């Protein structure tokens, strides 16, 4: 029986991915920064483990608790929607700590067992912002582009050991709490300095008026495909809007 460790499973893509792998008969180590009861079903093949990817000691403890794993899915992340000029650098650093450095740290911690065993897959969940243009996303896109570059080079380093690295690029999903978390309860005036307001409104109206969106299950299925792919494909757009962006690119 194969085992997958998925970060950020309290909601959204991570939760959907945990449910999908569990339904396919896998053992799932579902990590959450703050574990909550009732988010995932009780099962002898599903364990919830506490993990804050910005805490090195927490990463070590989570992997020790998990035991051997076959796949790591780096899904945990923080969203960010703002005009860069008005974004405090403390917020920029927070986004990178989770979306970039947290992914790297968790990956680095799991690689020795993959390399020694001669198998394993790392799947890094990024975003369709790397495929096209999304308004008010300079910081978020930068953090995800970094992981795209990281993964493409990492894949080359790991190939001689039979280990794979992939990215999954979700489109825009209306059923997650991305926007709420991204704004942290801030008012539009705080997010968008006055000189940018006319442009920001037009950009957001265009974005919310698009005709295709991603479902959480689209991402779970894309992660599944990435894990089982044998063609050497590196990037997996998830959701019809992401697929359209990838094809246009």
Whole-angstrom distance, CA of residue 238 vs CA of residue 218 = 6
Q: Is the pLDDT of residue 186 over 60?
A: no
Residues ≥6 apart with Cβ < 8 Å to 195: none
pLDDT tens string 55-96: 999 999 999 999 999 999 999 999 888 899 989 999 999 999
Q: How high is the pLDDT of residue 81? A: 87
For the stretch 152-162, what's the b/e string if a residue is b when 16 or more beta carbons lie within 10 angstroms of its beta carbon? eebbeebeeee
**Lowest-pLDDT range of 95-104, 131-140, 162-171, 173-182:** 173-182
pLDDT tens string 46-57: 999 999 999 999
Whole-angstrom distance, CA of residue 24 vs CA of residue 16 = 13
Q: What is the pTM of this model?
A: 0.92
Q: Is the pLDDT of residue 209 over 70?
A: no
pLDDT tens string 13-41: 999 999 999 999 999 999 999 999 899 99
Element of type H or E holding 244: helix 240-248
Active site residues: 140
* Average predicted confidence (pLDDT) for the chain: 91
HSE (side-chain half, CA atoms, 13 Å) at 199: 11
Whole-angstrom distance, CA of residue 137 vs CA of residue 85 = 12
């Amino acid at each position: 029986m194969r085992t997958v460790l998925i970060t950020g499973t309290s909601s959204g893509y991570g939760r959907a991915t945990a449910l999908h792998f569990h339904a396919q008969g896998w053992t799932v180590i579902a990590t959450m920064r703050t574990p909550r009861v009732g988010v995932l079903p009780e099962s002898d093949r599903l364990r919830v483990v506490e993990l804050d990817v910005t805490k090195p000691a927490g990463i070590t403890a989570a992997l020790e608790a998990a035991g051997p794993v076959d796949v790591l899915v780096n899904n945990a992340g923080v969203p960010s929607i703002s005009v860069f000029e008005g974004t405090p650098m403390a917020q920029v650093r927070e986004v990178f700590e989770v979306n970039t450095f947290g992914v790297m740290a968790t990956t680095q911690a799991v690689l020795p067992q993959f390399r020694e065993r001669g198998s394993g897959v790392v799947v890094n969940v990024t975003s369709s912002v790397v495929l096209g243009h999304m308004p008010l996303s300079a910081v978020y896109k930068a953090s995800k582009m970094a992981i795209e570059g990281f993964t493409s080079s990492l894949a080359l380093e790991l190939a001689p050991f039979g280990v794979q690295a992939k990215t999954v690029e979700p489109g825009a999903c209306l059923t997650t709490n991305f926007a709420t978390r991204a704004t942290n309860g801030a008012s539009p005036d705080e997010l968008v300095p006055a000189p940018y307001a006319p442009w920001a409104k037009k950009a957001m109206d265009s974005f919310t008026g698009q005709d295709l969106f991603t479902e959480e299950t689209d991402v779970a299925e894309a992660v599944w495909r990435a894990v089982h792919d044998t063609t050497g494909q590196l990037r997996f757009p998830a959701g019809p809007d992401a697929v359209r962006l990838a094809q246009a690119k």
